[in-house]
Amino acid sequence: MLDFFRKSRPSTAPRAPRTTTALFDDDFQKKLETLAIVSRRVFAGRMRAERRSKKKGSGVEFADHRDYVAGDDFRFVDWNVYQRFGRLLVRLYEEEEDLGIYFIVDCSASMGFGSGRKFDQARRLAAALAYVGLANLDRVAVIGVNDEVVAQVPSTRGKARIFTLFQFLEKLEANGTTNLGDALGTVVAQHKRRGLAVLLSDLYDPAGFERGINVLRYNKFEPYVVHVVDPADARPDLRGDVHVYDCETGDEREVTVTDSLLDRMEAASRDYLGDVERFCAKSQVPYFPAEVDVPFDELVLRVFRRGGFLR
Amino acid sequence: MSFFGFPPSVLLGVGGAAFAATIGLYILKLRRRPVAVPFSPIWQRVLKDKDASQLYSRLKNLLSLLLQLALLTLLVLALGDPRPTALAKKGETTVVLVDTSASMQASDVLPSRLAQAKAKVHELVGGLGGSDRMLVAKMDASTVPVTTMTGEATELNEGVDRLVATDTRVDLRRALAFSADVLHGVENPQIVVVSDGALDTDGAGKDLGNVPVRFIPIGKRGRNVAITGFSVRRYPLDASRYEVMLEVTNTDAAPENIELTLLGDGNVVDVSRLSLKPKERLPRFYTDLGGASQKLEARIRLADGTKDDLGADDRAYALMPERRRARVQVVTRGNTYLDAALLLDEYLDVTTVAPAAYNSGGAFDLTIFDGVAPQAPEHGGALYLNPPESGSPVKLGRALSDFGFDSWDKHSPLLRFMAVDNVQIAHGHALVPDKDDHVVGASEQGPIVVSGRRDGHPYVVTGFDPRDSDLVLRVAWPLFVLNVIHSFVEEDATYLSSFRTGEVWQIPAPSDDATVWIKDPAGMRHEVAVKEGRATFFGEHAGFYELEGSGKAAATLFAANLVDPDESQIEPVKDLQIGGERATAVAGFHIGIRRDVWVYLVEAVLLLSVFEWLGYHRRITV
């Protein structure tokens, strides 16, 4: 029935998928359209694709001067400066281009730990934000990583492409170890066009979460960290003598779980979150914690209010 | 300490094996289950300090093992059934006689004396040792065991719970004889009597031999006013009216004022207030009562509105004899005086036939032969008035004239209420009685009224025609006729207005039934065998009963009462004398304290298990 409406009356609603999946069901898709409307209201007055790059080029807005070198176009020589200072300077303009949004989804085993709620939440958030991006005529790419790039959808634009993203996200699986530094290094190498890089991850990286974020920073991407958090990770339902092992690395440790140990575990998890948040603040990277218990649409709205995702 | 269960060598073997198994299982228990975690570096961060406390953890693990070994030690010891050597004696065999008589319904100790007695017996059961055995029996008019001879506390306690008080008195001799039979030949026997002491100890305990009798007294006071007598009878000459005899007794040492209510068929007939002196027995008669009452009930209550301690004797029941019409056949050629006499009692069915029409074999209570006599003897009773020589059951002697009653049997029911000393008789015959016949009246010249039996049938013969005397002009004439009828019907002679509880009742029942049903006051039906026209039933509760036969005849009612002054004496006694010896208190029988140490060992095991469970879940012992 939704196909009928799509053909007869173009709508801003996402096209109905050929098959409805559990992850992106009808209810999810209805909420997406609501979020798209809300995003337009929040960012009313903005021009489409008004995402200015730092690249100097042939735009109309003055950016800077530089010394003339042989071969430069004479049309850009600033003759007024030459008249006043006797130097040949070339006027530089900001080049306008539609920069991309890269949704980088952590597909390591820790994301699927337990009931996989973190992985589901990450995929739902990626899908929702991607839809908002597509609705704003941005160029959107989705990349799955663990210690390498496991799969990706090349940059695309237009709302009609959202179902391609759904199918892609649906097929992603959480396994392998986490190495954000290496994986994101591959991402930046593969994508020359810089842009907003939304990292959706639990940041459980044995090599340190900082490496991956810094890779994005150092390669002129604008990182945006969505930290997917499961409270059950901080206080697991365990008692007694157990033999714990890391679900990714297999590191082992014998431990007797008591209430006091669980309290300390909870405190350590809070400290870890605090470390991530402090690092992001220090690095001027937008940071957004996303708990699995909070509905994804509410989280998306929080992202909007927080700013930084759409400008 | 001695072991009465498994010997120490076996205990050592069992204990060693169990210890080895426990330690083995404990080592297995230390294998930890693997659990995946999402990010081990956080655990590493937390567990950095944990390494410093490893020794403490091991100590806690050791504590867990020690607790389990302690549990095992206690269980192994329990298997050995250890007991203090001082208590190492052979078990006792005890018969507990619990008084369930009417006085045990007294409520001077709440909720009742019987409940207190049950509690005491429960304590005795709780104090049973491993080799002790006990039998509990109810003791009232009968003695019935409610348990087997057993050491099982469960069975004993269930038997005690089944005890119910009855409206009977205690037959202590029967109870002690039963106990002596049960304890015959056993070692360490004893009898424990749990009672309020309202016991008839005369002749009790003769067969006990050396069996000691212990006594547990019950009750604390005895304020009681009781109905100790209650009966009713119809007037012989006016069966439509009746009189009631009632006796009330104050068993207390203080005077009491009571209100006495008499009910007939549920309706109040009389209410009166009585003052009773201490220990007074006060009879009271209600005379010349009328009405159609069948069920009579007497109730007493204290005038001040309070209740005495025993309610079971505050009510009494009686049933008036059912009046039935006597069937009388008159064989006569016509006798106005006789017809007139028979008209005086409305409860007579009179059939008059001429001598020629007479046919023997009819179902009559009495046949009056007026100047005639049948050739064949009559089946029922017979009154012969001036019979001819032929057919008379008594030979006629010589003829008499102008005679009267010179002597007569003043105690004969045939002549009651009569004055015959100056009766004048014109002529008649002297009678010649057989040796078993009874001369009721005689002149100087010979017997003139004789009664007796022929072939099992009663008869009365007059040697004169009443019409040849002035007897028919006297009040004595109808009295004589009615006395003869009533003596043959024998209604009053066998009737009981109520049975007494605690006795075997012989209740008249249809003789053609093999069994009848008796419904007691509580509504329970009992099937009772009938033998020789009587149903034999042992009644324990006061009230109205119904007897139902298999025929269509209406149910027969009868009543039962306690009415026992001795049982109403509910002042508890503290000492019981049996056979001249004082029954001692229960000794060597630590009520409420079991002599089995193993019970306490198992309880310790349970307690330690609780601690272990709590410790495990609170992570103290792991």
Summarised one tens digit per residue, pLDDT across range A99-150 is 688 999 999 999 998 888 999 999 988 998 888 888 877 889 999 999 999 9
Report the alpha-carbon distance of residue B369 to residue B332 in Å, rounded.
6
Cβ neighbours of B57 in A, within 8 Å: 256
Banded pLDDT at B136 (limits 50, 70, 90): very high
Cα dihedral across residues B481, B484, B485, B491: positive or negative: positive
A245–B34: do the CB atoms touch at under 8 Å?
yes
Cβ neighbours of A248 in B, within 8 Å: 39
Banded pLDDT at A38 (limits 50, 70, 90): low
Helices assigned H by DSSP within A136-224: 162-171, 180-190, 209-218
Closest CA to A295 of A16, A28, A2, A5: A28
CB-based contact, A246 to chain B, within 8 Å: yes
Cβ neighbours of B50 in A, within 8 Å: 255, 261
Cβ neighbours of B32 in A, within 8 Å: 241-243, 254
Q: Pick the range with the lowest mean pLDDT from A226-240, B172-186, B592-606.
A: B592-606
A255–B47: do the CB atoms touch at under 8 Å?
yes
Banded pLDDT at A56 (limits 50, 70, 90): low
B466 close to B427: Cβ distance less than 8 angstroms = no
Report the alpha-carbon distance of residue B31 to residue B594 in Å, rounded.
43
Range B423-438 burial, b when 16+ CB lie within 10 A, else e? bebeebbbbbbeeebe
Q: What's the pLDDT score for residue B494?
A: 47
Beta bridge partners, B226, equal B249
Minimum Cα–Cα distance from B50: chain A residue: A255
Span B356-387, pLDDT tens digits: 888 877 778 889 999 998 877 667 789 999 99
Q: Pick the range with the lowest mean pLDDT from B16-20, B248-252, B344-348, B439-443.
A: B344-348
B379 close to B365: Cβ distance less than 8 angstroms = no
A268–B38: do the CB atoms touch at under 8 Å?
no
R_g of chain A computed on alpha carbons: 23
Cβ neighbours of B34 in A, within 8 Å: 242-245
User: Edge-to-edge strand order for the sheet containing B33-37?
Assistant: A252-257, A240-246, B33-37
Span A182-194, pLDDT tens digits: 999 999 999 888 8
Distance (Å) from the alpha carbon of A249 to chain B's nearest alpha carbon: 8
B34–A243: do the CB atoms touch at under 8 Å?
yes
Which of B38, B46, B47 lies nearest to residue A110, judging by beta carbons? Answer: B38
Q: Please give the residue that has the higher pLDDT: either A3 or B439.
A: B439
B575 close to B27: Cβ distance less than 8 angstroms = no
B619–A233: do the CB atoms touch at under 8 Å?
no
A242–B32: do the CB atoms touch at under 8 Å?
yes
Q: Please give the residue that has the higher pLDDT: either B319 or B447.
A: B447
If you average pLDDT over every residue of chain B, what do you get?
84
User: Taking CA B504 as the corner, what is the angle to CA B500 and CA B509, rounded to the nearest 5 degrees?
Assistant: 95
Mutate to test the interface with B, among A251, A257, A270 (most CBs of B within 10 A): A251
Span B430-449, pLDDT tens digits: 999 998 899 999 999 999 99
Q: Please give the average per-residue pLDDT across B89-95, as a whole number.
A: 80
Q: Please give the average per-residue pLDDT across B384-405, as a whole number.
A: 92
Q: What's the pLDDT score for residue A133?
A: 83
Report the alpha-carbon distance of residue A200 to residue A107 in Å, rounded.
9
Distance (Å) from the alpha carbon of B72 to chain A's nearest alpha carbon: 23
Distance (Å) from the alpha carbon of A200 to chain B's nearest alpha carbon: 16
User: Quick one: tokens of B343?
Assistant: 């008209």
A203 close to B38: Cβ distance less than 8 angstroms = no
Banded pLDDT at A297 (limits 50, 70, 90): confident
CB-based contact, A204 to chain B, within 8 Å: yes
Please report, for residues A289, B531, B536, B559, B600, the alpha-carbon distance to residue B505 in angstroms, rounded to integers and kept in the order given. 96, 12, 6, 11, 52
Q: Phi, psi (5° rounding) for residue A142?
A: -125, 130
B38–A202: do the CB atoms touch at under 8 Å?
yes
Which of A114, A258, A268 lies nearest to residue B45, judging by beta carbons? Answer: A268
Q: Looking at the predicted structure, is the pLDDT value of residue A82 above 50?
A: yes
Closest CA to B544 of B271, B315, B259: B315
Which of B35, B50, B619 lies nearest to residue A242, judging by beta carbons? Answer: B35
Q: Please give the average per-residue pLDDT across B51-77, as a whole number.
A: 75
B41–A259: do the CB atoms touch at under 8 Å?
no
A110–B39: do the CB atoms touch at under 8 Å?
yes
Report the alpha-carbon distance of residue B146 to residue B158 in Å, rounded.
9
B222 close to B571: Cβ distance less than 8 angstroms = yes
Mutate to test the interface with A, among B31, B39, B56, B616 (most CBs of A within 10 A): B39
Distance (Å) from the alpha carbon of B120 to chain A's nearest alpha carbon: 50
B98 close to B21: Cβ distance less than 8 angstroms = no
Residue A21 corresponds to which amino acid? T
A249–B40: do the CB atoms touch at under 8 Å?
yes
Provide, for chain A, the percentages of residues in helix, strand and coil under a 3-state DSSP scheme, each rounded to the nearest 5: 40, 25, 35
If you average pLDDT over every residue of chain A, what do you get?
80
Q: Please give the average per-residue pLDDT across A63-88, as a whole number.
A: 88
Banded pLDDT at B586 (limits 50, 70, 90): confident
Cβ neighbours of A230 in B, within 8 Å: 38
Minimum Cα–Cα distance from A248: chain B residue: B38
CB-based contact, A269 to chain B, within 8 Å: yes
Please return the burial class of A77, using the count of CB atoms within 10 Å of its CB with bins 0-12, 13-18 and 19+: middle
DSSP characters for A80-142? HHHHHH---EEEEEEEE---EEEEEEE-SGGGGSTT-HHHHHHHHHHHHHHHHHHHTT-EEEE
Distance (Å) from the alpha carbon of B603 to chain A's nearest alpha carbon: 28
Q: Please give the residue that has the higher pLDDT: either A309 or A311.
A: A309
B423 close to B471: Cβ distance less than 8 angstroms = yes
Cβ neighbours of A265 in B, within 8 Å: 42-43, 46
Banded pLDDT at A17 (limits 50, 70, 90): very low
Q: Which of A138-152, B49-63, B486-500 has the highest mean pLDDT?
A: A138-152
Q: Looking at the predicted structure, is the pLDDT value of residue B621 above 80?
A: no
Q: What's the pLDDT score for residue B377?
A: 64
Cα dihedral across residues B164, B170, B174, B176: positive or negative: positive
Q: What's the pLDDT score for residue B594?
A: 55
Q: Pick the range with the lowest mean pLDDT from A162-171, B54-63, B341-350.
A: B54-63
Q: Which of A249-253, A255-259, B20-24, B439-443 has the highest mean pLDDT?
A: B439-443
